[in-house]
Amino acid sequence: MQEKQVLQDNPLSFELKPDGFCVEEVLVAGDRGPCGGVIRAINATEEVLETIKHVNEKTGISIPVYANHEIVHNALVARELFEKGLRIQPDPNKVNENEIYILSAHGTKPSEIQKLINRGIWVLNAECQLVTADRTRARKILANGKDLAYIGNPNHPEPKAVIGDLDANRVRLIDYRKSPEEMDFPDRPFEVLTQTTLSRRQNIEKVERWSDLNPERDRVVFKDGPCIATDNRQDSLHDIFDIPGKQIDMAIVVGSATSQNTLELQKLAERSLMERGGISIRVDNLEELLLNNRLFTPEIRRIALTSGASVPDKFTVPVLQWLQNNGAIVRVTDPREKYGSFEPPRKDIEAIKTQIYETYGIAA
């Protein structure tokens, strides 16, 4: 673990220090914050919005840009994109020909995308490549003759995107909240896949317990989680709680309540702190943390801090700056992740630009 002194002074610092603030040390998860898929989706969306701004200025026409839901699950990112002109339209039937429809990083089933294209809608598919890879794995399982048990959140868009086009008779969505006793795996031979944002550890524990409870069935083999970014963020936070001699009194998870990835980090923190005492808090940004400053009692000496995969660093860094400016030493654990950046959806972006410029008869 290395001590990092990269934070700059923060003008918000001392006058907002709460009474009783005695934090001495903040241990920051080396793997935290925006993953490749999130950065890719935000950048692609901003590039399209920038293009539209340019076209609107040249033509005086206001071309609408819609997204099927939040591009990434982060309330502050959603607000920024809204201010730049992005509107959420979950009903594709309300999007018209020659309008732009951005499909979020969580994925969209291919048949739905094809229908949009057939209707003359300009589509930017910001689906994360790891969601696409999960769909490919799902198809292979079926092609190899096995059924698929997909553990996911039925209220999240990703399961629909991954398994929505597959043979419903051979695919079973298992609600991730079910206990091992309740997990209704298929009767035929099957393999398990999971939603990218869930807890790998918990899923492994659950399917192993299910196998223990059902000795007459073949043991379920659980492969790695489909998203290395999710796994790394969870492992990185988990490791902080295991550092010898470092009692953690509070965990701060930066991220939105809509982000499954963030909520899994929060649950991990709660489970770890439940065993040792201590409190856990999830906040979107520094302002929200300051609203909870009564939590900084003198007993809170050491904090573990992380942020979800859909949280740009600009929302986490002020939290760290504030803690540091109030006297805490900030130490960052070694990251596992060596980022290879994800390729942008260049084909979709360029197609949208070409179609718009041609339609409105303007130069790029």
CB of 339 to ligand SF4, least distance (A): 10
Output 130 or 328, the one with its CB closest to ligand SF4: 130
Q: Which helix (H) or strand (E) holds 174?
A: strand 171-175
**DSSP state letters, 3-27:** E---PPP-TTTGGGPPTT----EEE
DSSP bridge pairs for 26: 303, 330
Q: How far apart are alpha carbons 279 and 257 in whole angstroms?
A: 17
Instruction: Return the percent helix, strand and coil in the chain, to nearest 5.
Output: 40, 15, 45
Coil, helix or strand at residue 139 = helix
Which residues lie below 8 Å from residue 316, measured CB to CB, with a gap of 6+? 32, 33, 254, 305, 307
Output 102 or 105, the one with its CB closest to ligand SF4: 105
Binding positions for ligand SF4, rule: CB under 6 A = 35-38, 105, 128, 130-131, 196-197, 227, 229-230, 261, 309
Q: Please, are residues 322 and 47 in contact by the beta-carbon 8 Å criterion?
A: no
CB of 37 to ligand SF4, least distance (A): 3
Give the residue carrying structure tokens 């790891």: 130
What is the CA angle 320-314-198, rounded to 5? 85
CB of 138 to ligand SF4, least distance (A): 14
CB of 336 to ligand SF4, least distance (A): 14
Output 10 or 310, the one with its CB closest to ligand SF4: 310
CB of 312 to ligand SF4, least distance (A): 13
Output 152 or 278, the one with its CB closest to ligand SF4: 152
Output 67 or 95, the one with its CB closest to ligand SF4: 67
Coil, helix or strand at residue 304 = strand
Output 268 or 273, the one with its CB closest to ligand SF4: 268
Q: How far apart are alpha carbons 277 and 301 in whole angstroms?
A: 13
Q: Please, are residues 318 and 217 in contact by the beta-carbon 8 Å criterion?
A: no
Output 10 or 68, the one with its CB closest to ligand SF4: 68
CB of 234 to ligand SF4, least distance (A): 11
DSSP bridge pairs for 65: 86, 100
Tokens at 226, concatenated: 């489909």
Output 89 or 232, the one with its CB closest to ligand SF4: 232
Give the residue carrying structure tokens 């393999």: 191
Residue nearest to ligand SF4 (CB): 37
Q: How far apart are alpha carbons 35 and 44 in whole angstroms?
A: 14
CB of 44 to ligand SF4, least distance (A): 12
CB of 265 to ligand SF4, least distance (A): 11
CB of 331 to ligand SF4, least distance (A): 25
Output 128 or 174, the one with its CB closest to ligand SF4: 128
Task: Please tell me the total number of residues recorded for the chain in this structure.
Answer: 364
From the list 256, 264, 254, 278, the residue with the least C-alpha distance to 234 is 264
Rg of the chain in Å (alpha carbons): 23
